[in-house]
Chain A
Amino acid sequence: MKELVLKKTVFSYQGHSFSHDVYTCPQCGKVLIPKELAEGRIAKVEEQLEDK
């Protein structure tokens, strides 16, 4: 079993791309999105990008 590693990852939404460091599997490339990130920064970015 390998440990997850922090890696700058690109997120795309509504035609924009943003990066953030998240834990990534070095073998398969899948990323772990913690609940705090999904409900925090990611939700805030979505809110800013969406029309009212």
Chain B
Amino acid sequence: MSNIVRNTYSVCPECLKKIPAVIVKKQNNYFLEKTCSEHGSFSAVVWRGGHIPMEEWGSYRPPENEKEMPDCPHACGLCSGHLQSTCCVLLEITGRCNLSCPFCFAESGFECDDPSVEELKTYFKHLVEKGNTFVHLSGGEPTVRDDLPDVVAAARDAGCENIQLNSNGIRLGRDRSYTKELADAGLSFVFMQFDGTEDAIYEKLRGKPLFAEKKSAIEACSQELLGVTLVPTVVPGVNDHNIGEIVKFGLDNSPAVRGIHFQPVSYFGRYPDPPADEDRITLPEVLYAIEEQTDARLKISDFLPSRCDHPGCGFHGDFVVLPEGLIKLTRKSSSADNSCCFSDNSAEHIKNRNFVSRRWKRIPSLTIKKDNPGNDFSDMDTFLERVKTHGFTITAMAFQDAYTLDIERLRRCSLHVYKDGKTIPFCSRYLTRC
């Protein structure tokens, strides 16, 4: 038996034409279903809700009585129908890569001219003028650029307050002087591709064993007090069994590792074959795996839906790592239960960026202090110091592809890609290559 949960729009995976779609519940699972007049019907699982029903996750309600839906996703950049303003901006600073992964959202590895530092200066300046001071340097693999320290310095000089590097970490571990140059230039933190704690996982996803390289990269970043967030792409049958070990590895390597950002695999860019439902893992399954594979050290109830985007796009949980054990911080906000990036409220943006920044950055003035087993973490001062140095954040973001795209989710996207003077919602950018 199936029930329609809500109506929305999506695209045809073949021709990318915008078409009506429905979210349908069948037993405990939820599917996005749609029909293209030319290419037929499509169905993709978007939520397996045996442990968390979709209706109980977040409080989002689509706008009502709209005269006309915006031309999503084809009119992207942001239009008047977009419901979220920009929180973070991603810039592709190269298309080149030093890996050739079977899975790659950006289809990296092609030869093309990188934007020059001078061009990037112009982009940074433009972004800062618009109030966008949180940038992700992405690619491709940004560390293939020898002038990346100059790029970081250009971002800093333009006024970017948080400069994040998205990297596979290979060069960071091998070339320590390069890592130091990046830190000296003003890099804030590193989002490091990290798919698991077993070489077999990397051989399947990245074409070669890389676990030792990842550990070396984390060590290199730690030496320079660059906070590292581990970013696993979770692929069923490849590394979904390893989620608990990834969490354990991250916690064991605090404060060098500041958090984990799980990304359930999505099928855009480059992937081996068109996806079947068994090729997908959904957010509640990741949450359940965290609880089950950590023997309930962390629980589903320790996490909340994303407030920066649509609740179906992600979750987050905040913790403090103690010499023995954890403090669980995630509690509902004291403010109204609305989104942190809803509307152009700059105060909310700044609050959110500061929140993210203090979670992901290392704190130089405190990190030299040793653990003292006798510390009383219920003492306010000791707690405040510990949360700064050993805060640990576990988040997830479920990107959408042409099969799963739900325009109601797309309209709530706050992670945008800067391209040709426009800011484009992330999934829209990699869906259409617009």
Residues of A in contact with B (beta carbons under 8 Å apart)? 10-11, 14-20, 41-42, 44-46, 48-52
B333 CB contact (under 8 Å) in A10, A19, A50:
A50
What residues of B have a CB within 8 angstroms of the CB of A11 in the complex?
380
Interface residues of B: mostly helix, strand, loop or mixed? mixed
What 17 new A-B contacts, CB under 8 Å, besides A48-B383, A51-B330? A18-B378, A20-B381, A41-B384, A42-B380, A44-B384, A48-B384, A49-B331, A50-B331, A50-B333, A50-B334, A50-B335, A51-B331, A51-B333, A52-B307, A52-B340, A52-B351, A52-B352
**Contact sample, A vs B, 19 pairs, CB 8 Å cutoff:** A11-B380, A15-B331, A16-B327, A18-B380, A19-B378, A19-B379, A20-B379, A20-B380, A41-B380, A41-B381, A41-B384, A45-B380, A45-B383, A48-B391, A49-B329, A52-B340, A52-B351, A52-B355, A52-B356
Which single member of B304, B351, B379 contacts A18 (CB below 8 Å)? B379
CA distance A16 to B174 in the complex (A): 43
A51 to B304, Cβ gap below 8 A? Answer: yes
* List of A residues within 8 angstroms of B356 by Cβ: 52
Interface residues of chain B, those whose CB is within 8 Å of chain A, are: 304, 307, 318, 327, 329-335, 340, 351-352, 355-356, 376, 378-381, 383-384, 387, 391
Q: Do B332 and A51 touch across chains, with their CB atoms under 8 A apart?
A: yes
Q: Which residue of A lies closest to B386 (CB)?
A: A48
| B351 cross-chain contacts in A, Cβ below 8 A | 52
Q: How far is the CA of A50 from the CA of B352 in the complex (A)?
A: 12
* Distance to closest chain B CB from A19 (angstroms): 5
Chain B residue contacts of A41, Cβ below 8 A:
380-381, 384
